[in-house]
Amino acid sequence: MTLPVAVLVSGRGSNLQAILDACASGALDARVVYVASNHAGVPALDRAASAGVPHGAFTVADFGSRAAAQAAMAEAVMRTDPRLVVHAGFDHILGPEYFVRLGGTPVINVHPALLPLFGGRGMYGVRVHESVLAAGATESGATVHRVHPDTIDLGEVVVQRRVPVLSGDTPEMLGARVLEQEHIAIVEAIRRFVPATTPLR
């Protein structure tokens, strides 16, 4: 059965693109049914439009508060009846009003480090890679994990892919190496949620 997936984004959308490409090529038996952003006018929404996927922006400016924006976003997402919600470069912490509306729909997130290392509040974007280098770690990677209410980067790991830290790495160089693995990990992780069409023997 083709898995209907909703994707939450905030910016560039390269992880979204990896998902769209995997669906289009048949590598992943899933379909992106909706893309929601907390920022208007971001490249990720253009990627959704180019792929013909319904999409919307839910900004604090339009809705008056972060809670109201997140509630409206969750309602729009659930109207498309996804069986999985993927946070792919989504940069807000989601409150209870979001999770209540999602019901029991599973949620996963991609993080650019080997959780539980280098996760938690304030650990996003280039800061993650700066911290990995400052700690003298010899490897980093990408983690896709379950998301639960009121936690940051703490849910069960679904897929993890490792990369070496190389001498002379800048945060940007390390980040680019990790991002390649994010694109693979996010597709692998979604595949875990695709129901088998025939029972396993």
**Binding residues vs ligand GRF (CB under 6 A):** 11-15, 44, 88-89, 110-112, 124-125, 179, 182
Which of 175, 108, 92, 192 is CA-nearest to residue 141? Answer: 175
Please, which residue, 71 or 179, has the CB nearer to ligand GRF? Answer: 179
* Closest residue to bound ligand GRF by CB: 89
CB of 125 to ligand GRF, least distance (A): 6
CB of 88 to ligand GRF, least distance (A): 5
Look at residue 159 and give its three-state secondary structure.
strand
CB of 110 to ligand GRF, least distance (A): 5
Please, which residue, 66 or 87, has the CB nearer to ligand GRF? Answer: 87
Please work out, in degrees rounded to the nearest 5, the angle formed at the alpha carbon of residue 91 by the alpha carbons of 110 and 180.
35
Look at residue 180 and give its three-state secondary structure.
helix
Q: What is the DSSP string of 91-106?
A: -S---HHHHHHHTT--
Please, which residue, 111 or 161, has the CB nearer to ligand GRF? Answer: 111
